[in-house]
Structures are given as structure tokens and as C-alpha cells.
Structure 1
Amino acid sequence: MRDDVPVVKQMLADRIDDLCRQLLPDGKRKGRLWTASNPVTRDHDHTPALTVALDRDIGAWKDYRSGDKGDILDLVTYCNRTDFKGAMAWARDWLGLRSMSSAERDALQQRADVRRAEQAKKTEKAQAFKAEWVRRIWDSASPDRALPAAMHAAAYLFGRDCPLDLVRHLDPETFRFHASLEWWPGAEWRRDENGRNRKMKDGPLLPAMVAAFRAPTGQLTAVHCTFLDPQRPAKAAVDKPKLMLGSVSAGMIRISSGAANTAPETDSAPGPVIVCEGIETGLSLAIAVPEARVWAAGSLGNMGNCPVDLACVGAVILARDADWASPQAMKQFDDVHARICAMGKPVTVMEPLAGGDFNDVIKGDDDGESDEERGAEG
């Protein structure tokens, strides 16, 4: 059969809700995402971590636990445990393409071309909106550590044994504090008669610590928000108290600047860089190893996007959490390790001897709580 891949992808996208119900029947719609357990890893005893985009980049999916991801046709391939050829055969049958005439398929091709162009415009608009949202959050937060919001965050971090004050070379452009940031998953939305989402009610306003993801050039690409309980120095009592927003894969959270104490994009002297998953792990490592730069990726998978090709990176130390013991996490870390090694810099792996991560070592406990379990999403 002729190359009908674009038509198949567009037709699958046009029926994305039906497709999700077919492939991920235990899932449900949450805003613009279909959220479900992973039918391949069978992680039904965990919080669902596989999400599929229902608008904008329709069909783009990622499992935040296993790290598996792809486009709409990859979703068919993955869920049916087949290859590209098998996925195309399944999709043609499911869509009824095999019974269509040549003229009907030509008409479908034309409609698919139009819809792809429309979707590209929507995606571009959505990306611009999200970038502006990230900027609004960052600009509305304050770097002033004498303000009540910052002092509240300081009390939280003190309880985690990783206060900012103990980081000798804390990056001055990374942390800000917000007195009342909207926890946006708590907002209520409804679709109007035109199918557009309308915000009916804001999410709760909570104090938050905001950390910047920055590109290798220093540009703000995303934010990581730790929402706190208004009354006590603890995470907020919400489903996901740690959230990420923006182009996370384009940046890193620069925790400390190492012995050079300069921005990575302006430093040409090579030195060690420690790359870890979470902010609190990163703070603990920055306190313990002040001579190294420390960057947090926000997620295990994003560690592989670390810009180790920068001149300031002489060697890379990957901080591996001890609780990455599942086959999925082990594979994901192996993929990260391979990607970093491919950049040609010396690479070392360090792992805590106790607890789940290096913050647990500092605290002397073993809660083993990953960013995923704390509620961060990317």
C-alpha cells in the first residue's frame, strides 16, 4: 500500500478519545491529558503515570515512571507490543481504511493535510502561551530571602536538612519564592458549546518555592514549583505538591555554581558537574561537594538532556538514587548513562549507601521518596 502514514496518524488523532479508550481502557481524561496505568509494565498498583495529549500535540505520550514516550503511532506500537508494520496494519483495520476506495483515501489525504496545518498553528500558539505562563510565574515570585514566603520555604528546607544558606556557591538566578501561587491542577474547567475549555474556578493559592530551568544559554525554559502548607513547613496537602511547567527538556535547574562561582555559559574553565534528579537531592550534594557544579534535572529521564558539551563541564558525575531498582528505572538510567557517555566527557556514577537518595543520607533516614512520588510532573 502507498505511503499513508500521515493520513493514518491524522485519522488516529481525529479519534484520540476513542483510541485512548481502546488502548488504555483503565484511564480517564484529566484536563488535556488521558492518564492511565501502563499496560506493558503493568504498574496498576501505582499511581497512573502514563499520559497522552488529547489536544495540541495530539497523541504525544509519555510514561513518567518508565520513561517510555513517543507519538500517536508509537502509542499503538507500544500498547500492542508490535513493530511499525504491525502498528500500521492494526491502525488501518481499526480506522476502516482497508475498505475505502482510492477516491475516498485521496479525500482523506487532503483533509489530513489541512488539519495538520491547523494543528501546527494551534501547537505554536499553545507553546507561546505556556512560555508566557512560565514567565508570569517567575516574574511574580521574588528572590528576596528576607520575605515571609522565602522564610517559610527556608523552614521547609531546614526540615529536609538542605537549607539554601549552607550551599556555598548557590546559583543566584535559580530560586524564587511566592506567597500565593495558584496550584493549577485544582482549577475547574468546562467545555463550552464550541468545545473550548473555560476556566470556571481557580485552583487554591498556596505558598511556593519556584526554581528555574535554564537552557545552556541561560534562558528560562521552565519552572519547578514546590507548593507548601500555609500553616507549617511541609509540602502542601494536595495530590501533587511538586509541579513542573514549560519546556523542561530544554533546561536544567542550576543549584550551585561550583568553585568557579560563575554562570555556565560564561565559564570556559572545565570542572566537575554533578547531575541528579531532584532539587533536595541537588541541594544536599551541593552542600557536601561545594567545589562541583550541581544541576537537577527534575526527572530521571531529563538527566540525559544535561548539556555536558558546555566548556565548563570537564567531567560528569551522575547521582543515581538507590531506589531506582525497578526494571523500568534501571533501563531509564542506563539510557541516560549512555547518552551522557556519548558526549565524550569522563563520566562517573555515584550512589548513596543508605536511603533512597542523597538527601536521605543527609537526613539519616530512608523514605526513598522520588520526585515522581512527591508529585512532580514534566
Structure 2
Amino acid sequence: MSGIAHDLSRRLADRAEAVCRHYLSNGRRVGRYWLVGDIRNTPGRSLFVRLQASPKGPAGKWTDAATGEHGDLLDIIRGSLGLTDFADVAAEARTFLNLPHPELDPTSPRRRVIPAPSGHVEAARRLFAMSGPIVGTIAETYLGRRGITLLHGTGNLRFHPRCYYKPDGGPTETWPAMIAAVTDLTGRITGVHRTWLAPDGTDKAPVDTPRKAMGDLLGSTVRIGVPDSVMAAGEGIETMLSLRQVLPDMAIAPALSAAHLAAILFPPALRRLYIVHDKDPAGDSARDTLLERANAEGIEAIPLSPALGDFNEDLQRLGIHALRTGVRVQLAPEDVARFLSLTP
């Protein structure tokens, strides 16, 4: 382990429980350990993190009893956020620990960092690494005003307080933004989606194009939850998070546009796909294309249609009870019992 990694790992170990509560929020403390399903923050009890130093080893060390994998808290950050480059893991660790980033120190000999080209995958990864959790931010306020309050397992959604926005023909501006990681089937970040927000979180920012994506997007999605044999895929982030208000344990995959929805890649274990489409010609076309692709691969595909334009409109205008009723009649019977929330 390098000196930088060793120092960060040691500092994280001093705050092991806080790290676990932050990055492994689907787990819980049991005695001197934090238990969770795996390094990707899946609910369960297979992975255990030592919270205090003991004769068995230092704090912060973890083992996954199901796979035999083990590591330290830097690995937890890497796995829970889907990071691949150590620079991104280290940047995230420094953000959590509230430490300065060496590349931002004008006296540091390492300051000369070659910036990634605009729109490049590396630029997307850097932006995501520099962002923080959305809990307690105006991104949470923005989603709450749209009726979206269930945010468990949304590690691929983050917040940046001053995200660059370049209008056509004008100077670069900065606005708060909700940042969504776009990942491939392995969890590797291939791009990000930015939703610029008004400073009070009441709405999107008053700019010409408040939503933009960058990176390699084709086939990838914003993955929320870990898909097994069943998942739902759709266009917008808010649309899919609205559906999750009544299907809180179903994995969802916002593809960000109708064209990208039609081209998503299927997880190997997928057996049933719910296709969430907006009520417009582009949404209908994406639904039909995805139905054909899924059926050709032996995956049962079931469209989920909103009563109005999309499921967020249903949630805001009709209410959660009407949304739940409308979704229930479209689900496979076994998925009603497995996924549908019966509470408000």
C-alpha cells in the first residue's frame, strides 16, 4: 500500500462506524461490527466490518463471508460508489475526511494535473468524485418538492454545490447540481448526468438547458439498487424515483432518454424487465424496441404506463395512493407481493 493510501486508510479507520453509516447505509451495527450484504451496499449480513481495533485486527478491516473478499475502508468507498481509479477513491476519502486535495495546493509539486477533455469519461468520474451525498442538500429539497422522499440506496446520486454550466455563447456560470453516475453492468462509471438546480432547491436552475449528460452513455444507465432477476428501466431520474416510492425494493435504471432506454444492456441474471415509458411518440418507440430486444433474449418484458405524462406527474398530481393503484394492476402477481409497498 502506498504512503498516501496507508494514511487515508488509517484516518478512515479512526472513523470506521461513520464511514460505514455513510457508504454502507443498508447495513447495521451488531456489537463491534457493521454488517451488510456486500461491498456495493446491498442489504444483508455477509460482509462484516470491524469497527474497533481488537486482537483479531485493526478497525476498518472487512471480510465478505460469502465470497472470501477482504480489504479496508478505501475498498468500501471504491465498491459502494463504483469507482475504478485510485485517484477518484482518494479524492472521495479526502472529501469525507474534510482534507485538502494535494492537486489543489498551489505549493504542491503534484499540482500540474492534465485536465480531462470536456465530456470525457475521466472528466465525468472526476466530477462525481468531487460531489457529495445528497442527504441534507438542496438536491434532496428538489426531489422532495417533486414528491420523492425515499432515497435509500441512491449512492449513484450526489450533489455538487458549484457545478460549471456553460451557456451557448456566454460565460461559464456555476449552479448547484444533482449529479448522477452513469455506470455499465460492472458498476464502472462511464459518464454523469447533471441537473442544475435553483439555489433554494425549489426547481431546476433558470438556464436554457438545465439537464445535460457527458461521457459514454450508450448501453449504460443510472443504476439504483442491485438488480437480480427483476428490474425496471425508464427514461428520467425523477420518473424512476417516483416509481420507487411505491416499489422501494425494486432495482431501477434511469437511461436518461428514450433513445438510450431502447439501447440499455441487460444484466446477466435478468428474467423480467418492467419498461417504464413516457406517454409520447419517443417513449412509445423506445418501449417497442426494448420489448423486442428483451423477448429475443428470453427476458419477459412488461410495459408500465403512467396515467398522465410520466410517473412523476402521476405522483405530484394524482397522489401516491393513485400511483400505487395504477402500478399494482400492471405488475406480475408475484411481484405485487415482493415489491409493492402498502404504506403511504
Q: TM-score, normalised by structure 1?
A: 0.50
- Structure 1 residues 144 and 238 mapped into 2: Cα distance closer, same or farther (>3 Å)? closer
Map of 1:94 onto structure 2: none
Q: Which secondary structure state, in structure 2, belongs to the residue aligned with residue 254 of structure 1?
A: coil
Partner Cα distance (2:208, 2:118) in 1: 27
Runs of 4+ in 1 over 4 A off after TM superposition: 125-129
Q: Which secondary structure state, in structure 1, belongs to the residue aligned with residue 191 of structure 2?
A: strand
Would you say 1:333 and 2:291 are equivalent positions?
no
Once the two structures are TM-superposed, the CA of residue 144 in structure 1 deviates from its matched residue by 5.8
1:304–1:340 Cα contact (<8 Å) kept: no
Map of 2:276 onto structure 1: 319
Once the two structures are TM-superposed, the CA of residue 129 in structure 1 deviates from its matched residue by 6.8
Partner Cα distance (1:153, 1:309) in 2: 29
Instruction: Please list the CA deviations of residues 351-377 of structure 1 after superposition, one character each: whole Å capped at 9, or x if unmatched.
Output: 012x200111111169xxxxxxxxxxx
Once the two structures are TM-superposed, the CA of residue 211 in structure 1 deviates from its matched residue by 0.5
Map of 1:160 onto structure 2: 146
Structure 1 portions without partners, runs of 5+: 1-124, 189-200, 258-262, 265-269, 367-378
Once the two structures are TM-superposed, the CA of residue 288 in structure 1 deviates from its matched residue by 0.8
- Structure 1 residues 249 and 159 mapped into 2: Cα distance closer, same or farther (>3 Å)? same
2:138–2:200 Cα contact (<8 Å) kept: no
- Structure 1 residues 185 and 344 mapped into 2: Cα distance closer, same or farther (>3 Å)? farther
Map of 1:349 onto structure 2: 303
Aligned ranges for residues 69-84 of structure 1 at < 5 Å?
none
Partner Cα distance (1:341, 1:204) in 2: 46
Would you say 1:142 and 2:132 are equivalent positions?
yes
**Quick one: higher RCO (CA 8 Å, sep 6+), 1 or 2?**
1
2:278–2:284 Cα contact (<8 Å) kept: no
Q: Which secondary structure state, in structure 1, belongs to the residue aligned with residue 278 of structure 2?
A: coil
Would you say 1:229 and 2:211 are equivalent positions?
no
Counterpart selection for 1:245 from 200, 214, 227: 214
Aligned length: 205
- Structure 1 residues 204 and 275 mapped into 2: Cα distance closer, same or farther (>3 Å)? same
Aligned ranges for residues 15-94 of structure 1 at < 5 Å?
none
Partner Cα distance (1:283, 1:330) in 2: 20
Map of 1:206 onto structure 2: 175
Q: Which secondary structure state, in structure 2, belongs to the residue aligned with residue 222 of structure 1?
A: strand
Counterpart selection for 1:177 from 139, 159, 166: 159
**Structure with the greater alpha carbon radius of gyration:** 1
1:301–1:336 Cα contact (<8 Å) kept: no
Partner Cα distance (2:169, 2:258) in 1: 28
**Larger helix fraction of residues:** 1
2:262–2:286 Cα contact (<8 Å) kept: no
Aligned ranges for residues 305-316 of structure 1 at < 5 Å?
305-311=263-269, 313-316=270-273
RMSD of equivalent CA atoms:
2.5
1:221–1:250 Cα contact (<8 Å) kept: no
Q: TM-score, normalised by structure 2?
A: 0.55
